[in-house]
A and B are shown apart, each in its own frame.
Chain A
């Protein structure tokens, strides 16, 4: 038996989408408002999905406090109330939510989690969300 469990987290951060290889006009054309020089911010909602059998002892796929602990330590502590452009993770990448999703997935891939990581999803706004399947099969 396999059950998928999804936990939702909030972090807030600022960013500016700007490619230094492009001129100002091209940047503005590509990124629009997101290129405004002083940046802007979002409330990001991160969904982390793990899966596994349900323990007959606990009735759970995993200990939620453990999952929360890892995500808080590895992701929220790193990104919450930060300017993404200033972080090492984005020293060579534009902090679009696509790149942020890849970054979050890669961080979670290399840390021990209390259940199998199925995938992640990030909502940048209520209208835009991004999922990264990486080498994993796409979520249904």
Chain B
């Protein structure tokens, strides 16, 4: 089994807000992230897939194909967008890095044919990242 990781970047805006809470509660829990005008990040996404090396090509997966899937399923919708307002998963869910990683997993999992999705790692900033293994 070989694990292959492809990295991609996207920039997006978001804010954290739980509509069931008062503005004071939102501010207490989410701090600066509760500002409803939003703020943004340069996210770095690392997608790791697992599979066997194809004898004919020497590839686990054609990198171009993986790149196209990442662009089509994730980056085209997320990059230079407002996550709360423009990405359907976050109409009723807070776009934390945790929820983003899970949403990205769900978008990618069924689109991969010859390889299995192993891990989605998403950096919000260089000092903060989350990993999701589909568990």
Residues in B whose Cβ lies below 8 Å from that of A9 = 127
Chain B contacts to A: CB under 8 angstroms = 16, 18, 20, 29-31, 93-99, 101-102, 119, 126-133, 135
12 new A-B contacts at CB < 8 Å, known A3-B132, A58-B18, A58-B94: A1-B135, A4-B132, A4-B133, A5-B128, A6-B130, A6-B131, A7-B128, A8-B126, A9-B127, A57-B18, A58-B16, A58-B96
Roughly how many angstroms separate A7 CA and B130 CA in the complex, as a whole number? 9
Which 7 residue pairs across A and B have the least CB separation, nearest first?
A59-B94, A59-B96, A8-B127, A4-B131, A2-B135, A54-B98, A3-B98
A62 CB, nearest partner CB in chain B, Å: 10
Contacts A64-B128, A65-B31 given; does A140 touch B119 at CB 8 Å: yes
Q: Total contacts A to B, CB within 8 angstroms?
A: 59
Residues in B whose Cβ lies below 8 Å from that of A26 = none
Chain A contacts to B: CB under 8 angstroms = 1-9, 49, 54, 57-61, 63-65, 140
Give the nearest-CB partner of B99 in chain A.
Answer: A59
Give the nearest-CB partner of A52 in chain B.
Answer: B98
Roughly how many angstroms separate A1 CA and B126 CA in the complex, as a whole number? 24
Roughly how many angstroms separate A122 CA and B15 CA in the complex, as a whole number? 31
Roughly how many angstroms separate A2 CA and B102 CA in the complex, as a whole number? 10
Roughly how many angstroms separate A100 CA and B103 CA in the complex, as a whole number? 37
Residues in B whose Cβ lies below 8 Å from that of A5 = 97-98, 128-131
Give the nearest-CB partner of B119 in chain A.
Answer: A140
Residues in B whose Cβ lies below 8 Å from that of A60 = 96, 98
A54 CB, nearest partner CB in chain B, Å: 5
Please determine whether B130 and A58 come into contact, CB atoms closer than 8 angstroms: no
Give the nearest-CB partner of B97 in chain A.
Answer: A5
